[in-house]
Structure 1
Amino acid sequence: MLAHHRGEPGGLTYRDGADIRDGNVEEFYFSAAESWDRETIEVLERLVGRTDRGPILDVGCGAGKHLLWWAERDVTAVGVDASANAVLTARKRGLEDVLVGDMFDLPVDTSAFGAVHAVGTQLGLGGSLAGIRDLCREFARVTDDGGVAVVDNYDPTRLDDEFLGYRPDPREGVAHRCFHLEFEGEQASGDRFREIGRTLHFLLCSPARLRAATADTPWRVREVLRADGRAHYRAVLEKRPTGRA
């Protein structure tokens, strides 16, 4: 992201063994709102309606494209990302409220936010249904009693082994995805270099499995949003009336 923002030569790829996909840095992290699908805009607008309860927390904010969309509408939002260079990129794009942090231990105060926005299949990095529950509990900690959260994932009942990094699971509605990132760049001297990231493990779960996973958390799945036939979906979570499971 930082190299792309600086206009430095380089390319990002997703790799699982011999299977390679283009990282699409421009599309994933720097695309303009005009190119976003209707569901993306709908979710962003919906969260604006929660800001009477507190700002929005964008978890896994990357280079800040959603934060910029809110900022253009005078909506208060804070970004968190595990990558220091992603946060630096967002700051160079004019965003000030962006923090480096672990989403399982967010560097923000309890009950400080009205909503959490965590897309890019961040939820799957829980790695298991228990891990997803832990992540949901952390999102509950940082939101008030009326808070909402938007998360996303891929429904494995609509996937097959052609999906990059796909790993089956004997359980219905559960699968896994594993891959790593590779960046090939060029130094000022003209020498080429390659950086290889750690292997990422995502748990893929169907909406039904997500509902079951949230049963022991302060959240419940209020709505599932997805285009017809697609494996990718977004889920809108709301706090239970008691504010706890």
Structure 2
Amino acid sequence: MSTADPGGDAAESDGTDPFGRAIRDVAHGERTEPLWCVDGDERLEHPIERFYFAERDDAVYETLDDDGVATPLLDLGAGAGRDVLRFQERYDGEVVGLEPSAHLVATMRERGVASAVRGDMFALRESFDRDRFRAVYAHGTQLGLARPPHRLREFLADLAVVTADDAVAVLDNYDPDADGARDLLGWRPDPTPGMGYRVVHFEYEGDVGDTLLFRPFAPDVLREACVGSEWSVAEVRYTNDHHYEVVLRKG
């Protein structure tokens, strides 16, 4: 089994939340065991420090500047707040980090995130007012939890409600048609063109998290989901053979 990325930026909204606890413990310097990403008898240590605390290349943020990202900005699945903190430095105006994990919301606040909110990225209307944001960012492939086509369309509709008319969204996912995606832990084949399955859960200090069902999908699946919505795919760019970022524009 490849040691490729063992999991996206996803956490359980309730229960024991081993994912959020482990990241919190790293932030406090108190982690005693690895955070495991598990599929059956196979497991990989989740690279917490690299995924949630290490500095990212400035080109990532410059790309967002090129896409016209403005504030207020919403970071979906903000983790420990690494990107939110950089956005706060780069942009004037409000930056909000959204996380379902109470441990991660507390961690963000402790690390200096001015606005950290606990909520579900697939229930945005429950957390935010209409036209609230001009930009949305999600890095960690949690978009795959939308399980297209219906839930993906519902997510796009909710995203349209909480964003302004000139909004831009920068999201990411894995392309199941790429060879590298098949090396991901928890990969399952899917006969549907442009679709895949990925099933994993997290374990930490004996606590077992909920099973996470990801649906990696190709950019064309997202393009199709945008038909009839307020969003269109403006650009797709690959960071490697199987991971891509997509820029959505409204209007």
With the length of structure 2 as denominator, give the TM-score of the two structures.
0.84
Deviations 1:174-232 (A, max 9, x none): 11111001112xxxxxxxxx1111010111111111111111321110100114x5100
Aligned partners of 1:116 and 1:148 also within 8 Å: yes
1:96 aligns with 2:114: yes
Q: CA RMSD in A?
A: 1.6
Change (3 A) 1:82 1:10: same
Distance 2:50 2:63 in 1: 19
Task: Indicate the residue corresponding to 1:121 in structure 2.
Answer: 141
Distance 2:66 2:106 in 1: 28
Number of equivalenced pairs: 224
Aligned partners of 1:180 and 1:200 also within 8 Å: yes
Distance 1:32 1:163 in 2: 24
Q: Which runs of 4+ in 1 moved over 6 A?
A: none
1:232 aligns with 2:232: no
2:76 aligned residue (36, 39, 59): 59
Q: Which amino acid aligns with 1:72?
A: E
Aligned partners of 2:27 and 2:107 also within 8 Å: yes
Identity of aligned residues (%): 40
User: In structure 2, the residue corresponding to 1:67 is in which secondary structure?
Assistant: helix
Aligned pairs (5 A) from 1:129-208: 129-159=149-179, 161-184=182-205, 194-208=206-220
Q: Which has the higher strand share?
A: 1
Q: Which amino acid aligns with 1:142?
A: V
1:16 aligned residue (35, 39, 42): 39
Distance 1:216 1:172 in 2: 21
Task: Indicate the residue corresponding to 1:86 in structure 2.
Answer: 104
- Shift in Å at residue 74 of structure 1? 4.3
- Shift in Å at residue 60 of structure 1? 0.6
Taking CA–CA contacts closer than 8 Å with sequence separation of 6 or more, which of the two structures ends up with the larger relative contact order? 2
Aligned partners of 1:123 and 1:135 also within 8 Å: no
